[in-house]
Amino acid sequence: MRKRNISIDGKILSFHQIYALQLLEKFVEGQSSGSYFSYELNLITKQGARHNLLNHGDKEYLLSDMVKLSRLFRVPVWNKGVGV
């Protein structure tokens, strides 16, 4: 069986080191551009380290990528507080 890896934050991580994906929702108060929600997808390792994968203002776009990555890595998604 081939070992699969991901390069993130200048480090090489084995898929086996990935514990979960974390989805966060943030409300950004803008000055001239107005306020908006921003969505952040993080990778959580078994050691507890968090690495940012994606940031996007379009929730549906990010959710689509989140599902694909969750299936690829075969890990659960933590999305407390973010309606799916």
Domain locations in the chain as residue ranges: 5-78
CA distance 62 to 39: 7
CA distance 9 to 13: 10
pLDDT tier at 3, thresholds 50, 70, 90: confident
pTM of the model: 0.82
CA distance 39 to 61: 10
pLDDT tier at 82, thresholds 50, 70, 90: low
Strands 18-28 and 77-78: parallel
Model confidence at 4: pLDDT above 80: yes
Model confidence at 1: pLDDT above 60: no
Q: Within 13 A of 61's CA, how many CA atoms are on the CB side?
A: 8
